[in-house]
Amino acid sequence: MTALLEFDRVGRRFTTPRGPIKAVDDVSFSVFPGDVICLVGESGCGKTTTGKMVTGLVRPTSGRVLFEGRDIWAMPEREFKTYRKAVQIVHQDPYASLNPVHTVYQTLSAPLLHHKLAHGREEAMTQIVRLLQIVELTPPQDFLEKYPHQLSGGQRQRVSVARALTLNPRLIVADEAVSMVDVSIRVSLLNMLLRLRSELGVTFIFITHDLGVAKHFAAGGRIGVMYLGRIVELQPATQLIHSPLHPYTKALLAAVPEADPDLTRNKERVKLRSLEIPSLLHLPSGCTFHPRCPLYENGLCDVERPELAAVGEQRAVACHVVARELGQATTEGSSVAAGSLREGGVAR
Amino acid sequence: MSTSMPSPAVAESPFAYPDAVLSVRDLWVEYRAYRGMVQAVRGVSFDLRKGESLALIGESGSGKTTLSLALIRLLTRSALVRRGTMTYRRRDGKEISVLSLSPDELRRFRWKECAMVFQSALNSLNPVLKVWDQMYDTIKVHEPMSKQEARERALERLRLVQLDAERVLNSYPHELSGGMRQRVLLAMALLLNPQILLLDEPTTALDILTQRSIIDLLRRLKETLGFSTIFISHDLSLAAELADRVATIYAGQVVEIGEVRATFYRPCHPYTLGLMRAVPSLTASDSEMTSIPGSPPDLIDLPPGCKFQPRCGYATEQCTASQPELYAVGPHHGAACFNWQVLSREHEDAGKP
C-alpha cells in the first residue's frame, strides 16, 4: 500500500538575524489512509513547521514530501492543486484564522466556488448546511450570516474545521486545534474531530503540546515525540504513554501534572541533568538531548547522532542507550533505518 | 494603618477559619459596559488560611481574575465594588479593612503584605530595564535601604528561586527564557516578604518541563517561607498539584469550596464534576470524557435561579426558581447546589471513599 503522505528525511532551515537554524531536521514518517498520528513536543521543537510542510505551506530545504508516492514539489501544477485540495489545515487560533469581515457563509462558500465544487449560491448553500451539521453548528441557518465576532471560541473553531472540510480532504492537519478553547468545551471539539475520523475516514495529523489530549485523540493511532526539530520517538499511542522509550518522553510524562491530587503528587519524577532547552542556533553535538539526558554516556551521546531506529513492532526510538538495551533484549538489529518504519503502518 | 473592624459574618460562616490572614465576605464587583452592568463577582465569601494555598478554578470569564484584582485593589476605573468586606490580618495581629485603605496605606499594603504575579511573564516586566533596576525600584518605594543592602536582598531572592543570581540581575527580560522570567517575577513578588501571594495562571504558556520546575519551586518556597497563596488557574491539574483547598468559581460566585482531596474525589457541585470529567487523564485507563454543554452565561443578563442551571444535567424546577446558597456538604466543604446529595450518593455508588 502506498502511503497517503510520506516524509523522506525532510528538513527545513530558516535564516534568522542571528544565524541559520534547523527548525526541522531529517524527519521521516509515513501516514496511511485512515491513520492518525499525533506530534507532540514543547515550543520550538518543529511540530508546527512540520505541519506546514505536510500541507505544502512551507517548502522543505532538504528531503522529499511525498503525496501518494509522488514528490509534491516536483509535481506538475495540476497535480499539485489536487494535492492541495486533498490536504487541509486547521490552525490554532480561531480568532486569527477566520476573516473578521466575512460571514460564515462567505468563509465556507469561497473555497467551494473557487474550486468549482459548487455551481452557484444555491448549490453552495446546500453543501454548507451539510458541513455545519457535520461540525455540530445547528441549526445551520442560525450561523450562516454570523460574523466571527458573534461566535464563541469553540464555535469559531468549528467553522475552521468546516472550512477545512469544504474540499473533501483526505488528510487534515490540526495544529493545536483545541488549545485555545476552554476546558469544558475542549472535549466536545475533540470528540467531533474523532467522529470525522471514524465517519468520514479523514486521516489526521494532530499537533499538540498536551500529552493528555494526544493520548485521547491518537487512541488507535501513533504518537511521535519531537525534540529540537527531530522525532525522537514514535510509537502506538497507548504504548507510548504506558511504556515510553526515550528519556525525553519519560521526562515529559513524569512532569505532566494530572487532575488527581494523590496521583499527581506521588508521581515518580525523572531527574534531568539540565533544565535549559538548548538554543536552535547552537545545537549540542551528537544527540541534541545529551546535555539534559539522565542516560548520557560520555564519548557516545555527545559524538554520534542517534537515528530514529525501529526497536520492535512499530516502535522506534532515537537513543543509543535505549536502542542498545532493547536490541540486546530482543536480539533484533537496532539500526534498522526508517524504511521498516514506513512499512510498519499502524494497528487499526 | 487604619480601621480594624469586627466582622460578624466570620462567626456565622461555616467555612470560616480562626487562622485566616484574609477574610472576604459578600464581595460584589461590577463593570460598567455599554449594554449594562457586567456582574463579574457576585457575593463571594471565603477565608484564606495562614500558610495555605487556595486555588480558584473556573473557565475564562468566570470572574476569577476580577476577584484577584479586587483583592489587591487593582481594578480598572470602570469597575465598581458594590458591596462586601475584605479583612486582612497583619503579622502583628492587627486587622485591616482592605477596601477602606487610603492610597498611601494601599501602597504599603501592596508588595509588603500582598503581592501579585501576573499572567504573562513577558508583559509584566519592563523590556527596557534590567532586572536589577526593576527590583531596585520596587524595594526603593516600599522599604528604604541602602543600594548595597537592596542588591543583597535582590540577589538572595533570585537565588531562592534557583537562578544564577548575578547573571540574571544584569540581564534584560528578553535575554531570559520564559521559565526564567517567571522565576524573576516570583523573586520580585517575594522581595518584601509578603504574607499573601496572588498568582494568576502561574504556569500557563510554559512548556511542560519548565512548568514542572515552577510547580516544584512554588511548593518549596511555600514550605520554606510560609506565605499564603491564592492562585488562579483554568488548569485543574495545577490545582491538584499545589492547592490545599480549591474554590470553583462560576458566573462570579464560589459554587464549591473544600479541601483539595474532597473537591477532587467527591465534588458536590455539577460544575466542578463537569470540569473534572472534561480533563483528559494521562495515566488512568481510558476514562469517559464529557464536556459541559452550552457556554458560560452572559454576565450582564444572568439566568434566573442557579446560574449553572441551563447547562446542568441535575437541574430541577427548584433550580430555576431560586438560587442555592453554599450548603455544608462535608467538613469544611461547601457546595451551592440543591441536588448535592444526588451527586454525593453517586460517589458512594461509584465506590469512592
Find chain B residues with C-beta within 8 A of A252's C-beta.
208-209
Report the DSSP pairing between strands B253-259 and B333-335.
antiparallel
Examine the domain organization and report whether B230 and B96 are in the same domain: yes
**Cell numbers 480549591 label which residue?**
B246
Q: How many domains does chain A have?
A: 2
pLDDT score at A268: 86
Write the residue in B211, B265, B290 that is nearest to A187 by C-beta: B290
What residues of A are in the B interface, CB distance below 8 Å? Answer: 42-43, 152, 154, 182-191, 209-213, 215-216, 219, 241, 251-253, 255-265, 269, 272, 275-277
Provide the β-strand partners of residue B253.
B250
Higher pLDDT, B59 or B155: B155
Whether the pLDDT of residue B6 is over 90: the answer is no
Same structural domain for residues B240 and B308?
yes
Q: Do A191 and A287 belong to one domain?
A: no
pLDDT for the residue numbered B177: 84
Q: What is the DSSP string of A99-120?
A: -TTS-HHHHHHHHHHHTTSS-H
pLDDT for the residue numbered B120: 75
Whether omega for the bond prior to residue A139 falls within 30 degrees of 0, making it cis, is: yes
Q: Contact A241/B283, CB-based, under 8 Å?
A: yes
Query: Does residue B203 sit in the same domain as residue B323?
Result: yes
Q: Which of B209, B236, B286 lies closest to A275 in CB terms?
A: B209
User: In the A/B pair of chains, how many CB contacts fall below 8 A?
Assistant: 118
Residues B265 and B152 in one domain: no
Contact across the interface for B274 and A184, Cβ inside 8 Å: yes
Mean pLDDT, chain B, rounded, equals 89
Q: Do residue B237 and residue A264 have CB atoms under 8 angstroms apart?
A: yes
List the beta strands (DSSP E) in chain B: 20-33, 36-49, 53-57, 79-89, 95-97, 114-117, 196-200, 228-233, 245-250, 253-259, 327-330, 333-335
In terms of domains, do B94 and B231 share one? yes
Does one domain contain both B189 and B246? no
Q: Please indicate, yes or no, if residue A303 is contained in any of the structural domains.
A: yes
Residue A336 sits in the same domain as residue A295: yes
For the stretch B106-161, pLDDT in tens is: 988 999 999 999 887 678 899 999 999 999 999 998 888 999 999 999 999 999 99
Q: Within this chain, do residues A280 and A192 fall inside the same structural domain, yes or no?
A: no
Cα(A156)–Cα(B14) distance, rounded to whole angstroms?
Answer: 43
Q: Does the beta-carbon distance from A191 to B207 stay under 8 Å?
A: no
Q: What is residue A277's predicted lDDT score, i.e. its pLDDT?
A: 84
Q: Is residue B280 a part of any domain in this protein?
A: yes
Crossing angle between the packed helical segments A153-165 and A120-134, to the nearest 10 degrees: 120
Q: Which residues of B touch A258 (CB under 8 A)?
A: 237, 240, 281-283
Mark whether B68 and B164 lie in a shared domain: no
Distance of alpha carbon B257 from alpha carbon B249, whole angstroms: 9
Which residue from A minimizes the CA distance to B279?
A: A183
Q: Where are the alpha helices (DSSP H) in chain A?
A: 47-54, 77-86, 94-97, 104-114, 120-134, 141-144, 153-165, 183-195, 211-217, 237-242, 247-255, 261-265, 320-330, 338-344
CB B196 within 8 A of CB A261: no
Which 3 state secondary structure label does DSSP give B84?
strand
Domain match, A188 and A39 both: yes
Query: Within this chain, do residues A272 and A340 fall inside the same structural domain, yes or no?
Result: yes
Question: Can you read off the three cell numbers belonging to residue B161?
Answer: 528561586
Q: Residues with Cβ < 8 Å from B103, sequence gap 6 or more? A: none
Residues A184 and A327 in one domain: no
What pLDDT does residue A344 have? 41
Of A42, A187, A188, the CB nearest to B209: A42
Instruction: Indicate if B166 and B314 belong to the same structural domain.
Output: no
In a domain, A235, yes or no: no
Min Cα–Cα distance to chain A from B312, Å: 13
CATH at B316: 3.40.50.300
* Facing A261 at nearest CB: one of B215, B260, B277: B260
- Kindly list the residues from chain A whose CB atom is less than 8 angstroms away from the CB atom of residue B293: 188
Same-domain check for residues B79 and B142: no
SS3 of chain A: helix, strand, coil, percent, to 5: 40, 20, 40
pLDDT at A348: 34
Nearest to A247 by CA among A336, A308, A322, A310: A322
Q: Please check whether residue B352 lies inside any domain of the structure.
A: yes
Q: Kindly state whether residues B46 and B148 are assigned to the same domain.
A: no
Domain hosting residue A184, numbered range: 5-100+157-219
Q: Chain A residues with CB inside 8 Å of B275's CB?
A: 183-184
Cβ distance of B264 and A260 shorter than 8 Å? yes
Pairing between β-strand A36-40 and β-strand A222-227 as defined by DSSP bridges:
parallel
Residue of chain A whose Cα is closest to the Cα of B215: A257
pLDDT band at B39 (very low <50, low <70, confident <90, very high): very high
Task: Say if residue B11's pLDDT is above 80.
Answer: no
- Is A121 inside a domain boundary? no
**Confidence at B204, pLDDT banded by 50, 70, 90:** confident
Residue B298 touches partner A, C-beta closer than 8 Å? no
Instruction: Specify the number of domains making up chain B.
Output: 2
Domain co-membership, B333 together with B238: yes
- Mark whether A269 and A200 lie in a shared domain: no
B281 vs A184, A258, A261: nearest CB: A258
* CB nearest B241 (choices: A190, A251, A264): A264
Q: What residues contact B46, with CB distance under 8 A and at least 6 apart?
A: B15, B23, B24, B54, B247, B254, B257
Flag if A183 and B278 touch (Cβ within 8 Å): yes
**What ipTM was assigned to the predicted interfaces of this complex?**
0.84
Query: Which residues in chain B (133-192) have CB-CB distances under 8 A to chain A?
Result: 177, 179
- The partner residue sitting opposite B59, judged by closest CB among A183, A260, A276, is A183
Residue B203 belongs to some domain of the structure: yes
Q: What is the DSSP string of A55-91?
A: TTSS--SEEEEEETTEEGGGS-HHHHHHHHHHEEEE-
* B76 and B97 share one domain: yes
Closest CA to A111 of A166, A72, A57: A166
Indicate if A62 and A210 belong to the same structural domain. Answer: yes
Query: CA A179, A183, A186: angle at the middle one, nearest 5?
Result: 60
| Helical residues (DSSP H) of A218-319, grouped into ranges | 237-242, 247-255, 261-265
Evaluate whether residue A188 is within a structural domain: yes
DSSP characters for B259-280? EHHHHHHS--SHHHHHHHHTSP
Judge: A212–B280 Cβ closer than 8 Å, yes or no.
yes
% of chain B with per-residue pLDDT over 90: 71
Q: Does residue B93 belong to the interface with chain A, where contact is any CB pair within 8 Å?
A: no
Rounded-to-integer distance, Cα A228 and Cα A46, Å: 7
Distance from B292 to chain A by nearest Cα, in Å?
Answer: 5
Which residues does chain B have within 8 Å of residue A259's beta carbon, measured at their own beta carbons?
Answer: 236-237, 239-240, 264, 276, 279, 281
Residues A165 and A303 placed together within one structural domain of the fold: no
**Which of A47, A260, A262 is most worth mutating to test chain B (most B CB atoms within 10 A of its CB)?**
A260
Q: Is residue A115 domain-resident?
A: no
The pLDDT value given to residue B7: 39
Residues A200 and A267 placed together within one structural domain of the fold: no
A148: cell is 466571527
pTM, entire model: 0.87
User: Low-confidence residues of chain A, pLDDT below 50?
Assistant: 330-348
Count, residues in chain A: 348
Q: Please answer yes or no on whether B282 and A272 come within 8 Å at the CB atom.
A: no
pLDDT for B287: 64
Residue A146 in any domain: the answer is no
pLDDT value at residue B2: 42
What residue type is A122 in one-letter code? E
Residue A176, in any domain of the structure:
yes
d(Cα B189, Cα B139) in Å, to the nearest integer?
A: 11
Q: Are residues A199 and A80 in the same domain?
A: yes
Report residue B279's pLDDT band, with 50, 70 and 90 as the boundaries.
confident
Given a contact cutoff of 8 angstroms between Cβ atoms, the answer to whether B112 and B194 are in contact is yes
Q: Are residues A200 and A53 in the same domain?
A: yes
* Local structure of residue A336 (DSSP, 8 states): B
Taking CA–CA distances from A211, the nearest residue in chain B reads: B282
Residues 6+ apart with CB under 8 A from B79: B29, B30, B31, B32, B40, B66, B69, B70
Closest in A154, A255, A263 to B212, CB measured: A255
Domain that holds residue B275: 15-113+195-209+222-353
Instruction: Please state, in angstroms and rounded to a whole number, the distance separating the CA atoms of residues B93 and B21.
Output: 9
Distance CA A173, CA A203 (A): 9
Residue range B198-227: average pLDDT? 89
- Interface touch A255/B278, C-beta < 8 Å: no
**Is residue A123 situated within a structural domain?**
no
